[in-house]
Structure 1
Amino acid sequence: MKIQEIIVVEGKDDTTAIRRAVDADTIETNGSALNEDTINRIRRAQQTRGVIVFTDPDYPGQKIRQTIAEHVPNCKHAFIPKENALHKRGKGVGVEHASVEEIRKALRHAHHMKEEVEEQITQEDLLTAGLIGGPKAKKRREKLGKLLSIGYTNGKQLYKRLLMFQISKEEFSRALSVIFQEETDE
Structure 2
Amino acid sequence: MIREMIVVEGKDDTTAVRRAVDADTIETGGSAIGEDVLKRIELAQERRGVIVLTDPDAPGERIRKIVSERVPGCKHAFLTKDEARGRRGIGVEHASDEAIRRALERVRGPETDSAGPGEIEWSDLLDSGLIVHGSSARRRERMGELLGIGYANGKQFYKRCLMFRITRAEFTAALEQLEREGL
TM range (shorter): over 0.9
Q: After superposing the two structures, state which structure 1 stretch, 166-175 or 110-119, moved more.
A: 110-119
Corresponding position: 1:112 with 2:109: yes
Query: What is the TM-score normalised by the length of structure 1?
Result: 0.94
The whole-number CA distance in structure 2 between the counterparts of 1:81 and 1:9 is 15
1:119, distance to aligned residue in structure 2 (A): 2.8
- Counting only pairs closer than 5 Å after superposition, residues 59-138 of structure 1 correspond to structure 2 as 59-87=58-86, 89=87, 91-114=88-111, 117-138=116-137
CA separation of 1:106/1:97 partners in 2, compared to 1, >3 Å: closer, same or farther? same
Query: What is the TM-score normalised by the length of structure 2?
Result: 0.95
Counterpart AA for 1:93:
I
8 Å CA contact retained: 2:4, 2:50 = yes
Could you give the per-residue CA deviations for residues 81-117 of structure 1, whole angstroms, max 9, x where no partner exists? 0111011x2x211000000000000001111122755
SS of match in other structure, 1:114: coil
SS of match in other structure, 1:83: coil
8 Å CA contact retained: 2:9, 2:28 = yes
Match of 2:163 in 1: 164
User: What RMSD over aligned residues (CA atoms) do the two structures have, in Å?
Assistant: 1.2
Could you give the per-residue CA deviations for residues 131-184 of structure 1, whole angstroms, max 9, x where no partner exists? 101112111111100001000011121111100110011110010000001108
The whole-number CA distance in structure 2 between the counterparts of 1:9 and 1:24 is 12
The whole-number CA distance in structure 1 between the counterparts of 2:66 and 2:111 is 15
The whole-number CA distance in structure 2 between the counterparts of 1:72 and 1:130 is 33
Match of 2:179 in 1: 180
Gaps of 5+ in 1: none
